[in-house]
Amino acid sequence: MADWDAELVVDGSLVRTLLAEQFPEFDPSSARLLGEGWDNSVWAVDEVWAFRFPRRAIAIPGVEREIAVLPGLAPLLPVPIPEPRCVGVPSETFPWPFVGTPLLPGREPADAGLLDHERDALASGLARFLRTLHARETLDAVDPTRALPVDFNRRADATLRVARARENLAYLRDASIWSPPASMEGILSAAERLPPSRAELVLTHGDLHQRHVLVSQGTLSAVIDFGDVCLADPCIDLIPLWSLLTSRSREQFFADYGAITDDQLLRSRVLAIVLDSMLARYAQDVGHASLQREAIAGLERTLTE
Q: Rounded to 5 degrees, what angle do the CA atoms 165, 167, 168 make?
A: 65
Confidence of residue 235 (pLDDT cuts 50, 70, 90): very high
Specify the pLDDT at position 2: 67
Q: Which of 301, 272, 254 is nearest to 124 (CA)?
A: 254
**Residue at 131 is within a domain:** yes
**Residue at 3 is within a domain:** no
Q: Which of 256, 212, 204 is nearest to 235 (CA)?
A: 204
Specify the pLDDT at position 1: 53
For residue 56, the one-letter residue type is R
Q: How many domains does the chain have?
A: 2
Please give the residue range of the domain that contains residue 62. Answer: 12-102
**Residue at 2 is within a domain:** no
**Residue at 186 is within a domain:** yes
For the segment 220-234, what is each residue's pLDDT rounded down to a tens digit? Answer: 999 999 999 999 999
- Report the CATH number that the domain containing residue 98 is assigned in CATH: 3.30.200.20
If asked whether residues 156 and 249 sit together in one domain, one would say: yes
For the segment 8-60, what is each residue's pLDDT rounded down to a tens digit? Answer: 999 999 999 999 999 999 999 999 999 888 889 999 999 999 999 999 999 99
Q: Which of 102, 133, 160 is where one domain is finished?
A: 102
If asked whether residues 283 and 177 sit together in one domain, one would say: yes
If asked whether residues 205 and 270 sit together in one domain, one would say: yes
**Residue at 7 is within a domain:** no
If asked whether residues 226 and 129 sit together in one domain, one would say: yes
Q: Cα–Cα distance between 8 and 55 in angstroms, integer?
A: 5
Residues sharing a CB contact under 8 Å with residue 14, sequence separation 6 or more, in sequence order: 53, 93, 94
If asked whether residues 201 and 278 sit together in one domain, one would say: yes
Residues sharing a CB contact under 8 Å with residue 269, sequence separation 6 or more, in sequence order: 187, 191, 242, 302
**Residue at 180 is within a domain:** yes
The DSSP secondary-structure symbol of 178 reads -
- Report the CATH number that the domain containing residue 212 is assigned in CATH: 3.90.1200.10
Per-residue burial over 129-154, b if 16 or more Cβ lie within 10 Å, else e, is bbebbbeeebbeebbeeeebeebeee
Q: Which of 229, 211, 213, 201 is nearest to 66 (CA)?
A: 229
Q: Which of 72, 102, 132 is where one domain is finished?
A: 102
Q: Which of 44, 74, 102 is where one domain is finished?
A: 102
